[in-house]
Structure 1
Amino acid sequence: MKDQLVFFSLMLSILLLKELEPIDGRVFKVSKMECRTLDPSFAHVKNCNVVHSEHGRAALYIHITMLYKGPIDDIILNLGIYKILKNRRFQFVNETMDFCSFLRQPLQSGFFGFLINPLLKITNINTTCPLQQDYIFNGFRIDESTLKEVPLPNGVYMLQVRTSMLKKWRTDIRVYSTRVEKY
């Protein structure tokens, strides 16, 4: 009886684990990126490129030169994710976050955690406020492991990140991509 119970438990475990085998994750294929400065006296976009590699994978390169030379400790980020259907945009996400508060307590990030945590690994931004340097995102890779946890259905999307510094909107970055099952 005990042997049958162990055998049954083992078979049930094998069947359950077989159901949990990894499934091909959905990925984003980036088509283009637009970066613009909303206040040219404050900052200048020096570089804004999408570099495509094999099979639709991409890397994003952004370099924003700060013309304002003082310390900045009032930074607000706004993330908007829009699904694009023909001539309409449907907004999935509209989240605003105090960036300096996020750096102090990163667990309270909400949806921004999917985006900001991988970005902080490839940027020159220090993890304390105030900030006062150029901002360089050097090769943010979009592949199978990047942003696969983002719970969005397949389709065409625009991801928009706007930055407010010292109570005024300063930059606007838009990334256009398509969510697909695999490359």
Structure 2
Amino acid sequence: MVIRFNAYRKLSGYHPFLFNVSKDLCHALKYPNRLDVLYYFYNAFSPYSNLNHTCPYNNDVYIRKCILNDRMFSKVPLPKGTYMLTVEMDDGIKNWVSTVSVYFDIDVD
């Protein structure tokens, strides 16, 4: 399974910003790398999801009751603005099976 993270910043429409990363999810979960963007997202969302083991995943993956707080953004200080984060997954045959979009505003220096 391949997972892709994209970050966009709203200026006159949403434009690519900061990163566009594709990773093999199974490899990244088996061999975590603290310097990888997937590591930060995994650690932020894992307490709220069923992603508590490595592959294979034979059931639905969910993230429930997740709350983003300021501490999650301390590693990457972002300027004020409106942002969109997309997470896409494919089935290994280049068929994208899910897309999750998260919209958020940063209004603090």
Q: Is TM > 0.5 for Structure 1 vs Structure 2?
A: yes
Conservation of the 8 A alpha-carbon contact between 1:115 and 1:147: no
| AA of the residue aligned to 1:148 | S
> CA 1:130/1:90 → structure 2, altered by over 3 Å: closer, same or farther?
closer
Q: TM-score, normalised by structure 1?
A: 0.54
> Is 1:166 matched up with 2:92?
yes
Structure 2: segments with no counterpart, 5+ residues: none
CA displacement, residues 60-93 of structure 1 (integer Å, 9 cap, x when unaligned): xxxxxxxxxxxxxxx1110000111023523321
Is 2:17 the counterpart of 1:80? no
Q: Distance in 1 between matches of 2:45 and 2:14?
A: 29
Give the one of 126, 129, 153 matched to 2:52.
Answer: 126
What's the TM-score, normalizing by structure 2? Answer: 0.86
- Cα root mean square deviation, aligned: 1.8
The alignment-based identity, stated in percent, is: 24
**Unmatched tracts of structure 1, length 5 or more:** 1-74
User: Where do residues 8-27 of structure 1 align in structure 2 (5 Å cutoff)?
Assistant: none
Q: Aligned equivalents of 1:163 and 1:109: distance in 2?
A: 21
Greater C-alpha Rg: 1
The structure with the largest strand share of the pair is: 1
Q: CA deviation at 1:118?
A: 1.6
Answer yes or no: is 1:112 the counterpart of 2:38: yes
Sort the Cα spacing of 1:87 and 1:166 in 2 relative to 1 into closer, same or farther, 3 A: closer
- Corresponding position: 1:179 with 2:73: no
Distance 1:104 1:87, change over 3 A: closer
